[in-house]
Amino acid sequence: MKTLTIRQPWASLIVAGIKDIENRTWKTSYRGPLLIHAASFKIKNWDNIPITENQKDILRSYGAGVIDYDITSAIIGKVDLVDCVINHDSIWAEKCMPEHYKIYNWALANPILFYEPIPVKGKLSLWDYPNILAEPEEENGKLFCHCQIPVKEENQVSRFLGEEFRCNYCGGIWYK
Ligand SMILES: [Zn+2]
């Protein structure tokens, strides 16, 4: 599955469903599921994090300790990349004048925080994490999980009432 490495605190804010935009200096035509990988950068001083007063107010409203910003060097969740635009109206979108240096706002939807992070080294640009398939494999019209990831089964699999067991990471049916 396509993966994007993002520094903290942004990675955790994205999978928590608070930050709905990722700002990049380059655009992408990719749309679809995207794993969120937290880079190795650890926050030592919040004063060095470029965050506006409005954004701080939002974070305060969630209270301290709700979001874990200390997970690094791991895939921590998943979103859908739904658009890539300039000057999105989200509070998290960096704006720019069209004639100047462009900042692209990657619009993100359907965030999921994984129960258990997958430790793996980050990469630049959009990269592929092959152990989670973007499309679960089809067998007899059903989509089955073929993830090969080092997480506990109780963290990987869940079930809504009356439905089949499913993998939280790829969305496929659990076959074991
Ligand atoms: Zn899976």
**Range 41-63 average pLDDT:** 89
Distance CA 136, CA 164 (A): 15
The reported pLDDT for the residue numbered 176 is 63
Q: How far is the CA of 20 from the centre of ligand 1 (A)?
A: 24
Mean pLDDT, the chain, as a whole number? Answer: 92
pLDDT band at 91 (very low <50, low <70, confident <90, very high): very high
Q: How far is the CA of 50 from the centre of ligand 1 (A)?
A: 35
Query: How many CB atoms sit inside 10 A of residue 50's CB?
Result: 6
Is residue 87 within 8 A of residue 93, CB to CB? The reply is yes
**Range 125-134 average pLDDT:** 94
Q: How far is the CA of 116 from the centre of ligand 1 (A)?
A: 13
Q: How far is the CA of 119 from the centre of ligand 1 (A)?
A: 16
> Considering the entire predicted model, what is its pTM?
0.92
As beta bridge partners, residue 138 has 143
Q: How far is the CA of 23 from the centre of ligand 1 (A)?
A: 28
With a pLDDT cut of 70, the percent of the chain lying above it is 99
The reported pLDDT for the residue numbered 46 is 87
**Range 147-153 average pLDDT:** 96
End-to-end CA gap in the chain: 22
Q: How far is the CA of 66 from the centre of ligand 1 (A)?
A: 27
pLDDT band at 19 (very low <50, low <70, confident <90, very high): very high
Distance CA 75, CA 169 (A): 10
As beta bridge partners, residue 157 has 167
Cis-peptide, bond into residue 136, ω within 30° of zero:
no
Which domains occur in the chain, in start order? 2-129 (2.30.130.30), 131-176 (no CATH)
Say whether pLDDT at 31 is over 80.
Answer: yes
The encoded tokens of residue 163 equal 């439905």
Q: How far is the CA of 93 from the centre of ligand 1 (A)?
A: 31
Listed in sequence order, the residues at least 6 apart from 31 whose beta carbon sits closer than 8 Å to its beta carbon are 80, 81, 82, 83
Say whether pLDDT at 139 is over 90.
Answer: no
Q: Are strands 142-144 and 137-139 parallel, antiparallel or unpaired?
A: antiparallel
